A and B are shown apart, each in its own frame.
Chain A
């Protein structure tokens, strides 16, 4: 580096991932809203023949939101935050720049293949691990590339201390790598049988109860390491930076980090309560789920206290509003989860709509709001333009908040109602309701949930429009804003 004066952070990879975050956000949530509507109005199953049924689209929805929208968001923010907290620019290393770009393009190709194969029905039918083995191989490669990026940039850093966000990114990398590999251990049947049948097909290395244990160890912790850990990485950077307030307690952030790492992995058993896995695994799942409240709330409270004495920003800065609401939803879902994990509650809640309800206050409330706030914060710095419209952010905020509240309240009621009806007996001890009775009562809640989905989706479209306008036609900035993001 000859002259430091010319040195700037290089956001080209972050920009690419910003683009896919928006793309997959829209795609995933459009499909989500459609399948929500299908439960209320089953005729909607037949829009595109074989490919449009609820069951074919549901894995698309979950995978696009998890591995499309959220992962892109994680990487967009990583390629932004990573440079900044380590005080080193990607422009300083041709190698890392190349790795970053390959990372993106390979990911994008892999994602498109994943969407196509799922739509065609190639599926391992393990939730959130549906991809068949060729896609898994691509995913592993993408992951390795990300690893090189992380450790590469850490290797050339100027700031010796790793900011806590980096801890969380590193943990995301390790956690997902371990979980994904073990859960997707599968054997392609084509090769073992000597070239018979479909080359895409594979069979799981684990069977029955074992498979269930591995799957939910994975399933639950995919939530941990995609929907929690990296989102915490984001909020620990973006909330302080946007508000100009350092984290309330840095020590608490480190402690909750280790607490979360240790406790989270045990909690997977709560997906298998009352099943055929050994009792002690179930009990362990319940106990650790409850303990998990501590580190989760540790982080959440730390975020909220960061705003101590600066609560006025909540009213004047819509980005702060998004982030604070997001951490509030984090608190809500991390208390709701443990409640559902308690055995007696689980007996009613499991298999009902309360479970998707819970996931959605986490993902719509905590994950998606945080990612969108992060991208809004990054936009003026990456594109050197102010955010196109503050009004639109406000509108989006209210649409989405209403959407989330309608969403989880309707599914709470739906889930508990159905759970109670399944077990209701008359005075002679006979079941009171046939199964279809318990489906019929849900119709109004499914309608409300669809409306909620439409509201939230409208917010996402507004977000996308606002971002695109910011990239292309908003007023240019001469100087990078220090804290608060400028907006028109």
Chain B
């Protein structure tokens, strides 16, 4: 097996893997929204409500000051 062949296999499997991951991700996005686990669209509001003192959409427990 020369380098060309290796390259071709690496390419093939990596691409398949990433394509599967991408579709998995799409599924995940819609599924978790349907099941009500997570609402992705609410993150869009991060840009709109972005004062220092506005309430975070998801608080970071590690941050210095909790409000």
Contact = CB atoms under 8 A, between A and B. Distances in A.
Touch between chains A and B, by CB atoms below 8 Å: yes
Interface of A: 1, 4, 7-9, 84-85, 87-89, 92, 156-161, 163-165, 236-237, 240-241, 244, 246-247, 249-251, 254-255, 258-259, 262, 483
A158 B48 contact: no
Contacts of A160: 56-61
B23 to A, nearest CB: 10
Contacts of A246: 41, 44-45, 47-48
A255 B25 contact: yes
Given A157-B63, A160-B60, 20 more contacts: A4-B67, A7-B53, A8-B52, A84-B50, A85-B47, A87-B50, A87-B51, A88-B63, A92-B64, A156-B63, A158-B59, A158-B63, A240-B47, A240-B48, A247-B47, A249-B41, A251-B29, A251-B40, A254-B40, A259-B22
**A-B interface, 10 closest residue pairs, ranked by CB to CB distance from nearest:** A246-B44, A160-B60, A159-B56, A160-B58, A84-B50, A163-B46, A247-B44, A158-B63, A1-B65, A240-B47
Contacts of A258: 22, 25
A82 to B, nearest CB: 11
B3 interface: no
A392 to B, nearest CB: 27
B26 A255 contact: yes
A156 B52 CA distance: 13
- Count class of interface residues, chain B: 20 to 34
A462 to B, nearest CB: 28
B46 to A, nearest CB: 4
Contacts of B47: 85, 163, 165, 236-237, 240-241, 246-247
A263 B18 CA distance: 11
A87 B59 CA distance: 10
B43 interface: yes
